[in-house]
Amino acid sequence: MLRLLKEWTLPFAMLAGVVGHQIFSHLAFLTPYLIFTMLLLTFCSVSTSDLKLKPYHWWLLAIQITGSIIIYATIAPLNKIVAEATLICIMAPTATSAAVITHKLGGSAASVSLYTLLSNVCLAFAAPIVFPFIELHPDMGFWQACFIILRKVFPILILPFITVLFLRNFTPKIYGKLLSIQEFAFYLWAVALAVVSSQIFESLTNNPGNLIIKIIMGTTGLIACAIQFFIGKNIGSKYGDRISAGQALGQKNTILAIWMAQTYLNPLSSVGPGSYVLWQNLINSLQLWRKQHHKKDL
């Protein structure tokens, strides 16, 4: 039983979040601190010499920004809300937790961390340009929107790395202890996932809307998730970094995506990135299971 819980930690965390949503939803204030701590532990093994932009980063960025716009233009004539949900599932930047899962899978946490920063910064400038063409929000200007997104992302991404550099150079004993408990980062992510799942569950149950449209958005979320993992891994294979590229493109910052959907687009479109949480963590769990059983990565 213990082995089963360990191998399928992420699905159990999501289930716990849904079943205990009345409890976990009150712990939402802990999410930034959980992410900060798990990135702090993960960055302990990242060398500054590994933080180099790679050719595949630009391919992933093109898919994230340009690909999402093309997909939206294709689906919008059929259903605008579904198109918005799909757009945000693709345009959403890489999750801050992607480095943790990538490290667990044996990929390059440094490469994913760098792309996470790149994708979030690019989105902060792309979203205020693209979204007004979809839904008008005259009450929020371009620079205000950029600042809000950057304010949500930068402290969580940058401060853990700066802290690690300080500890590595000035307090090596503390740094060594953190390095020795690096695996703990994965379980912190499981707690954060339970909290996030409880919020998404409450959002979905309290959000009025056509059930059929919700199901369609959930299905497009699954398709978008699977395709992005597939494309990312295939691009990464050409550059010898299959795992990292797959996680960088497939694992999304769904909290930011849901906020953007509710702020910029039709609020109902947030069902798309809400379902994406389920799909990406099921894929992550399957990859971790195969990794633990010494099988070839997906």
Which residues, 6 or more positions from 247, have their beta carbon under 8 angstroms from its beta carbon? 94, 98, 101, 102, 105, 107, 112, 232
**Structure pTM?**
0.78
Q: Hey, which bits of the chain come out as E strands?
A: none
The whole-number pLDDT of residue 86 equals: 94
Q: Which helix (H) or strand (E) holds 44?
A: none
CA distance 45 to 215: 41
- Report the pLDDT value the prediction gives residue 233, as an integer from 0 to 100: 95
130 burial level (CB within 10 Å; 0-12, 13-18, 19+) = middle
User: Of the segments 45-54, 146-155, 255-264, 283-292, which one has the largest average pLDDT value?
Assistant: 283-292
Q: How far apart are alpha carbons 134 and 105 in whole angstroms? A: 38
DSSP-based three-state secondary structure for 252: strand
Of residues 47, 38, 34, the one with CA closest to residue 168 = 47
What's the pLDDT score for residue 77?
94
Q: Which carries the bigger pLDDT value, residue 223 or residue 295?
A: 223
Alpha-carbon distance 195 to 181, whole Å?
A: 22
Return the sign of the alpha-carbon dihedral for residues 125, 126, 131, 133.
Answer: positive
Segment 43-63 shows an average pLDDT of: 83
Average pLDDT of the segment spanning 36-58? 80
User: What values do phi and psi take at 297, rounded to 5?
Assistant: -60, 150
Backbone angles phi, psi at 55, to 5 degrees: -55, -35
Residue 261 CA from chain centroid, whole number:
15
Q: Give residue 262's pLDDT.
A: 73
Please choose, from the candidates 104, 93, 123, 135, the residue with its C-alpha nearest in 3D space to the C-alpha of residue 290. Answer: 104
Is residue 225 within 8 A of residue 250, CB to CB? The reply is: yes
Residue 44 has pLDDT above 90, yes or no: no
| Cα dihedral 85→71→157→98 (10° resolution) | 90
